Amino acid sequence: MLQKHRWRLILSFGNLGLAIAQSALGLHAVRVNPLRLHDLILVIPTQQVISYCINAPAFIISNLVLNSGFWRVFFANHLLVFFKVSVLFYVLLFLFWWYVGWELDTRHDMRNGATGVTPIYGNILGTALSLGLLCSGVYLLATALPTLHFAGGSAIPVSTVLWGCGSLYYFVRNLQTALATVLGPA
């Protein structure tokens, strides 16, 4: 059983542990050297920026949810944080890396001719989410970076663009393969 879920376990728990460690190191760095306001922007510790760049999809989605009106109305006073980072970020990070591990664990099955429309729908959804990630990174680079009002500098928007490009390539390539499998040779 562990062999079947090897990458799911390694990637999800490994990245979760790494993110928690980076959050703890970032919190320690803040306690040792208190953050200063620089042009009214709170500076994010380097350890946090690294964690957010490695886990840009989870970071962007958690920020979208946390900044939504629904979340603010119903959960504003009940925001769960762990090392000054939202628990939602950690949950999304775990789920994202579980999905990546699942893709690695099951890629052998896909190469052996998994058929049906489920891979097509999944890759269409992945393509749409990748486009959203890419567009949000480009938006952050175009709007927040020139005004220098983005905490963490350009690292997070650049990593978001890179994640968007890489995942878009992956899902479009898999979509082509899934369509070719279902539709047969042209």
pLDDT per residue as tens digits for the range 48-73: 888 888 999 998 888 888 777 766 66
Residue 12 pLDDT > 80, yes or no?
yes
Q: What is the CA radius of gyration of the chain?
A: 19
Name every residue whose Cβ is closer than 8 Å to that of residue 163 and which is 6 or more positions away in sequence: 56, 57, 133, 137
pLDDT of residue 40: 47
Where do we find the tokens 């878009």? 168
Higher pLDDT, 162 or 3: 162
The most confident of 8-12, 32-36, 115-119, by mean pLDDT:
8-12
CB 106 within 8 A of CB 98: no
Other C-beta atoms lying within 10 Å of the C-beta of residue 126: 19
pTM of the model: 0.78
pLDDT of residue 170: 92
Provide the mean pLDDT of the chain: 80
CB 45 within 8 A of CB 21: no
Among 8-22, 88-102, 104-118, the range scoring the smallest mean pLDDT is 104-118
Residue 127 pLDDT > 70, yes or no?
yes
CB 24 within 8 A of CB 83: yes
- Separation in Å, CA 8 to CA 12, 16, 39, 114, 177: 6, 12, 42, 20, 23
Q: Quick one: pLDDT band at residue 82, thresholds 50, 70, 90?
A: low
pLDDT per residue as tens digits for the range 160-185: 999 999 999 999 998 898 888 887 76
